[in-house]
Amino acid sequence: MSAQSEGDGEAQIGETEAGETSGFPMLLRELLLAKGPSGYETAPAAVWRAAAEGFGAQQTSTDLVGTPSARVPSRGRVEVSAAPRRLIVMGHIDEIGLIVTHIDDEGYLWFKEVGGWDAQILVGQRVEVSTREGEIPGVIGKKPIHLLREEERKKVAEVRDLHIDVGAKDGKQARELVRIGDVAVIDGDPVELPNGRLASRALDNRLGSFVALEAARLVADAGGASDWEVVAVAAAQEETTFGGSRTSAFSLEPDAAIVVDVTHATDAPGIEVKESGKHELGSGPVLSRGSTLNPRLSELLYDTAQRESIPFTVEAIGRNTGTDADAVHLSRGGVPTALVSIPLRYMHSPVELVQLDDVHAAAALIAAAALSLDADTSFVR
């Protein structure tokens, strides 16, 4: 289901420059091409904020942690003096990456993970290192299999066994190019696949930040919610500290929150649906139910999806969600929080894979739910 709309003038979110809708929205492409590991999200945050200003969101800003936000005002009556209630729609904009910890005298870069990595995925990858002078290419190397002893071949590679080679002739040249604390991401452009599917690094969670902004745009196109304002948030540092969600939830003081992230698509080989639930690509957004999530807000999303004929599945979460929802719902005196996820294959890899119908459906669902809020809406348990 597409959550796109036609617009006058400049291309809107989800549209091409010619104004024609595309399964792979231009904004999402730009977000994926921007590099932004946790704590270094400046480039994708700038893309996101420019898009927010492009559709006329009010009070776009970026906080000191690096989290941009964009407000869509309510359409409440002018004679009502009370401030409108506030819904935040949040997806994190950071991605996993690598950070340089040491540069040896031979010119090799040694590194640690920024966020969670399976070291096997890193072996033999091309990377782009973000330096003070710009991006430089490199490759991740390890001892070739031909030179491994028999017992070494049986061992699983660890990050400490890997290095980045930027082609430097020695340590002096490498240190002129790269500084300790520079970060890197896997080098690879998004790839469009059949059936409206897309593979890319950083889908976790540029998808969530895209959906948050697209939902806000749809609300703005409808003239705003009646008694609620909607604030889209692209949270920084989710993969490491939940820093952006903690600070923005505190400062924005929302009356309710919908967090958008990814979850495991369970139609890939080897995944047990009895444990994880059945969430196939193309089955729509995944609505979470669990002990830390507000049941009334979850039911609102459930009922909205049924009313709007938006396909969805349900995921059960017994403890924490592993998303920004874990930080948001505990902000100040507590925030009624729901979690909407997008099915994703091969999470935390450079070939994460999604079906774009699910992305558009998530934005449409959240926008429809936001537009249904009124002065009598209550999320008190």
Which residues are identified as catalytic?
Answer: 238
Nearest to 51 by CA among 29, 66, 36: 29
267 alpha-carbon distance from chain centroid: 21
Q: What are phi and psi of 257, to 5 degrees?
A: -145, 140
Between CA 52 and CA 13 the distance in angstroms is: 9
Cβ atoms of 232 and 79 within 8 Å: the answer is no
Cβ atoms of 138 and 129 within 8 Å: the answer is yes
Q: Where are the beta strands (DSSP E) in 27-145?
A: 58-62, 68-72, 85-92, 97-103, 109-114, 126-131, 134-141
Between CA 173 and CA 105 the distance in angstroms is: 9
Nearest to 31 by CA among 205, 183, 259, 238: 205
Rg (CA), the chain: 22
Please classify residue 144 by burial: count the beta carbons closer than 10 Å to its beta carbon, then call 0-12 exposed, 13-18 middle and 19+ buried: exposed
Separation in Å, CA 95 to CA 66, 250, 349: 14, 23, 10
Between CA 177 and CA 138 the distance in angstroms is: 11
Please classify residue 134 by burial: count the beta carbons closer than 10 Å to its beta carbon, then call 0-12 exposed, 13-18 middle and 19+ buried: exposed
Q: How are strands ordered across the β-sheet holding 191-193?
A: 191-193, 197-200, 352-355
DSSP for 131-185, written as a single string? ETTEEEEEEEE---GGGS-HHHHTSPP-GGG-EEE---SSHHHHHHH--TT-EEE
Peptide bond into 320 cis (omega under 30): no
